[in-house]
Structure 1
């Protein structure tokens, strides 16, 4: 591959996505392609560059030494292309290129989350801007920011990574809930004994570790572990588990008397949401507009 064409860039993007996903099969949904098509594209790229890029087959997916070097070069090339598109748009006073945003699941019902408003502000000024909005866990968001796969992320981050910048946005209130079919549902929320709660089957979110909010975490029976808020709600509604949910998200089931909080006087807690970006990555105009819109909403809430 001596001359770079649009087709070459497409093959490189496919190669990068396959590597990021950890294999051809894992990349099918991300690329919206079937396995044979992806395999053909990778073979085409290998033919054009004249080197074996990866081992693939029954033993799994693994980059060769040359493939690893090409992957790193591909990252730099695609970043440069993206920066060029964004820079050209800025010269024309338009938002161009791509804006990639990562958020945690089920924030849409939170009145403090103004992500949709910020996206509207971006689109009102956009030219040919392409927006990618991905739902991920906080750890996945941080990893994607570090690896330049996301421009910005929003979520409850418990640890601080040295290469990232965290800007506080708002807090989310969470209560411990049980479902209508649970034996303890009939009890008054404030009358439930703590010792009784500690004997119940608890569903934990793998990335939040809310259990440590309890006084005696060692006695909590973690009977299920999930990584999405909807999964917590499903298990709570089954009547067999108790679990933490944001009050804004659980409100729909509370209103229908399908859920109720347990001991909100002592078991409520808050998750602090932050905006995270990479320290050494110059923000594009689209990122600046998006962040400024979020800051404006935050300022309006504080002054109102």
Structure 2
């Protein structure tokens, strides 16, 4: 006698609905936790789960005093669900890519807060996209650097704006902006009223300073080797906060301290020597699932930043 298939007929829309409920329950850790996301009561979820188990002729989970737990079959079905819905999503994206009019989300993730100049540039990028594909649902958000890289590789984001610190296989990098980054202290720091000649390399080596939180480029690493790294702040705004406390010195891009320099709240230390170049890269996946959207974004950034495809950006000509 041949073994009966788990679902002995073509998968229906109702089956897909039950599987989506099952996936939500699993990812929320139980029926009660899934109530809010699903918008139905626990008893209704229980009925749906019983229906799914009945249709599949499998025990998918246990629920009782011991809490919610997947059976071995339930774990296998959950992983199959992930593959199934990813495949459906891939198919939808593939079909959408065939049309001239793009639809759905367009996701841009930034690793740092944007200063005024970069806000203006990115606003032009958004205007470029809106003029050509106004139906797209644009998402512009900030995210941790490693999470942006992960989102790009998983096709959950289309473009990331990252500082140039490493290159990951599977991603393409194009420098869109470059500017000097300087060693700074605040008006509350003892060095503020000293001249550069009075601040020796030995003094800097003993002074509490800030690590940027990522493995920056070789030029920057050489600068950091000379300091007493006793705090860490990846974001420029949080790094500036530490510097303004008067307890630490640290490196910041010139564009982030213009107002503080003007108001004499921050000063640059050894501007000719204690500086390196900060490069901002536009990062995309090499073989992106929604290639048409990535191409649109790449065209927009090249247009706004005055770049040729694959080129490096011009360095900002700025002096302290």
Deviation at 1:78, TM superposition (A): 2.5
1:186 aligns with 2:193: yes
Deviation at 1:59, TM superposition (A): 11
TM norm structure 2? 0.72
Cα separation, 2, equivalents of 1:110 and 1:60: 52
Cα separation, 2, equivalents of 1:126 and 1:268: 41
Query: Residue 151 of structure 2: SS of its match in structure 1?
Result: helix
1:94–1:126 Cα contact (<8 Å) kept: yes
Match of 1:65 in 2: 75
Deviation at 1:49, TM superposition (A): 5.2
1:98–1:132 Cα contact (<8 Å) kept: yes
Q: Deviations over 1:161-218 (max 9, x none)?
A: 2211222322132111111111111123465222111111112121245862327x1x
1:217-228 equivalent positions in 2, closer than 5 A: 217=225, 220-228=227-235
Cα separation, 2, equivalents of 1:58 and 1:260: 58
Which shows bigger deviation, 233-242 or 36-45? 36-45
Query: Residue 150 of structure 1: SS of its match in structure 2?
Result: coil
1:142 aligns with 2:149: yes
1:169 aligns with 2:176: yes
1:54-93 equivalent positions in 2, closer than 5 A: 65-66=75-76, 67-84=78-95, 86-87=96-97, 91=99, 93=100
2:19–2:81 Cα contact (<8 Å) kept: no
Flag structure 2 segments of 5+ consecutive residues without an equivalent.
1-6, 54-59, 308-312, 315-320
2:208–2:230 Cα contact (<8 Å) kept: yes
Q: Deviations over 1:111-169 (max 9, x none)?
A: 59822211111111224311112212332221111121111112123222221122232
Rg larger in structure: 2
1:190–1:262 Cα contact (<8 Å) kept: no
- 1:275 is matched with which residue: 258, 273, 282? 282
Query: Residue 264 of structure 1: SS of its match in structure 2?
Result: coil
Cα separation, 2, equivalents of 1:277 and 1:111: 19
Over 3 Å counting, the alpha-carbon distance change for 1:187 and 1:10 in structure 2 is: farther
Cα separation, 2, equivalents of 1:42 and 1:204: 49
TM norm structure 1? 0.75
Query: Residue 206 of structure 1: SS of its match in structure 2?
Result: coil
